[in-house]
Amino acid sequence: MPSKLNVAVCGATGAVGQQMLACLEERNFPYTDLKLLASPRSQGRELTVKGSGIKVEALGEDSFKGIDLALFSAGAGVSREWAPKASAAGTVVVDNSSAWRMDEQVPLVVPEVNPEDIAMYKNKGIIANPNCSTIQMVVALKPLSSLAAIKRVVVATYQAVSGTGQKAIDELAGQARAHYQGQALKAQVYPYPIFHNLLPHIDVFEDNGYSREEMKMVNETRKIMHQPDIMISATCVRVPVVYGHSEALNVTFAGPVSPEAARQILSAAPGVKVVDDPAARQYPMPVLAAGQDLTLVGRIRKDLSQENGLDLWVVADNIRKGAATNAVQIAEMWLASR
């Protein structure tokens, strides 16, 4: 382990950036110096890390001088502009945005699924963090794929508003207050009120009728699992939950996989907790997943409509395992590989 490690968090004032700081502290990541970067409007704001205040600096041309590792959580536009500049300065970037995920020269990593891919970071000095909904799905799919090859996945997601950021959390709370005060609900973050509602619309719609979020799940899963031919269909829905994405998975295998075998292998899988006793009303829920890093899997049952199929219910904290924790885990892997 190096005697000195300088780390920067770019987008430190956002929901994911602040969770990255919490994860670095919780996991005792061994940095020597920590720099907090954000847009000029956040310059001078003080954040508390390990009991001490650190002032936020505006992202600029000299921001990455002397920085060994940067965690980016500032959006695709920022990452496209600044990740190459950071890399040119000798900084390794772990990027949480969509900017680099499908770049063939950039590894897209979930530590429990494809840790071997991290070696590719030497190509561009960038490691991509997958989409939140993709991460929890592949954490569940990977161990199951050792029982029989996965041929097809149909997934419906129920995604929390925190995936859109703090402004969406605030809007949901404001709409709840307005509803109970008999006032009209105002929508600015989403095209319609999210309170008491579901929106089958995450990101923009593509020409094929799928949303960009849905296509992220298709393309990222194929890359992470090294299965370019796996058949995947996704429907992504925003729901009035603050933290925790939920997913209903229908998985078709090349051969028979029993629910019992699935439970057994998932129970031993890294990053997974099986919560599956419907008779005792035990199953994954967002309120159980929020605040932790495990992916909860339950409602494991045979698909009655086809041979070699299983149905699963998968839940994880989208800000932690779906973003910040996965990025810090990648950073830990990179550090161990140096």
Per-residue HEC secondary structure of 316-331 comes to ECCCHHHHHHHHHHHH
- Residue span(s) of the chain under CATH 3.40.50.720 come to 6-129+323-337
pLDDT of residue 2: 53
We find that the CATH architecture of domain 6-129+323-337 is 3-Layer(aba) Sandwich (3.40)
What's the mean per-residue pLDDT of the chain?
96
Beta-strand relationship, 69-72 and 6-10: parallel
Bridge partners (DSSP) of residue 35 are 8
- Residue span(s) of the chain under CATH 3.30.360.10 come to 133-317
Burial class (CB in 10 A: 0-12, 13-18, 19+), 228: exposed
**Does the reported pTM lie above 0.85?**
yes
- How many C-beta atoms lie closer than 10 Å to residue 259's C-beta? 15
pLDDT in tens, 16-55: 999 999 999 999 999 999 999 999 999 999 999 999 999 9
| Catalytic-role residue among 132, 179, 201, 236 | 132
Beta-strand relationship, 272-274 and 295-302: parallel
Q: Is 226 a catalytic residue?
A: no
Residue 1 pLDDT level (bands cut at 50, 70, 90): very low
Sole residue written with tokens 């296509």? 215
What whole-number percentage of the chain has pLDDT above 70?
99
Integer Cα distance of 271 and 69 in angstroms: 24
Which CATH superfamily includes the segment(s) 133-317? Dihydrodipicolinate Reductase; domain 2 (3.30.360.10)
Integer Cα distance of 79 and 101 in angstroms: 11
Measured at the alpha carbon of residue 209, what is the angle toward residues 204 and 215, in degrees to the nearest 5? 65
| Catalytic-role residue among 10, 23, 236, 245 | 245
Q: Is 236 a catalytic residue?
A: no
- Nearest in space to 272 (alpha carbons), one of 87, 125, 140, 154: 140
